[in-house]
Amino acid sequence: MNMAADMLSHQSDSRRIDTGRIALNVRGKGTGPLMLFFHGITSNSAVFEPLMARLSHRFTTIAVDQRGHGLSDKPESGYEANDYADDIAALIRTLDRGPAILVGHSLGSRNSVTAAARNPELVRSVVAIDFTPYIETEVLDALETRVNAGDRLFENTKVVEAYLAARYPNIPADAIRIRAESGYRQVEGGLRPLASPTAMAQTAEGLRADLTQTYRDVTRPVLIVRGEQSKLVSAAALAKTSRLRPDLPVVVVPDADHYVNEVSPEITLKAITNFIDA
């Protein structure tokens, strides 16, 4: 069955959790060991619903709107890697269900590895999807331009879907629909992104920080996943990362671009379960 279509009949419970440091909106389901999901920049927790639907029979799956995104708090500042990572640590402590498996895409990948490096006692392992050290400056320049262009007024959800389909040409229509229906708020004259433009600008700038020491420091098991056609993580960046940490397993997903978990959910699911079971 199509994963996104299957998800629509199994929506997760959504709620806000005050960690004492920040209030984070989460959606969760299932029972078992704790598995947390962290989205990419400008996105939100809903993009992980299809994966959660398939993993919730084994795990307590909780996807998080990270700071500045979705329905979580949006402070004026505090968008460096350590800020996001300390939110993760605070959430795990508040849930009191750790250590947790962290699954992160892009921004969420960087934040998850950083959290594991800073608080290894709270993390069981990390699935780091399509974000590594050594991303080229011109690639981050292009990302920043795309991020800042997304803050605009849209007439309705159909217009949002058309915009997202053009921006993410390889993401299937049902996954585009999840983004369109979950990532925008009604304002006068139409819809605007839930993600704070101030937060997105600071977050995009923060993605430029050198990640090599974090990868050197991390002691928990980390699976690196790259889309074979990714325009964010080049083959060269991945090769350098593997030279930095040759002990970390790598999965390259054929025909997938940067948005691996949305473009290739079945392979992503298999990679996660194989890694955990190993």
| pLDDT score recorded for residue 160 | 97
Instruction: Specify the CATH number for the domain of residue 242.
Output: 3.40.50.1820
Please determine, for residue 212, whether its predicted confidence score (pLDDT) is greater than 90. yes
| pLDDT score recorded for residue 150 | 85
Q: Which residue has the tokens 């959800």?
A: 157
Token output for 49: 């619903």
What long-range pairs does 239-242 form, CB within 8 A, spacing at least 24?
240/133, 240/134, 241/132, 241/133, 241/134, 241/215
pTM, two decimals, is 0.95
Number of domains in the chain: 1
Reply yes or no: is the peptide bond before residue 99 cis, omega within 30 of 0. yes
> 100, 36 in Cβ contact below 8 A?
yes
Predicted confidence band at 245 (pLDDT cuts at 50, 70, 90)? very high
Which amino acid is it at 210?
A: D
Q: Report d(CA 25, CA 217) in Å as an integer.
A: 29
Domain coverage including residue 80: 3-277
pLDDT in tens, 108-151: 999 999 999 999 999 999 999 999 999 999 999 999 999 998 89
Report the catalytic residues. Answer: 106, 130, 258
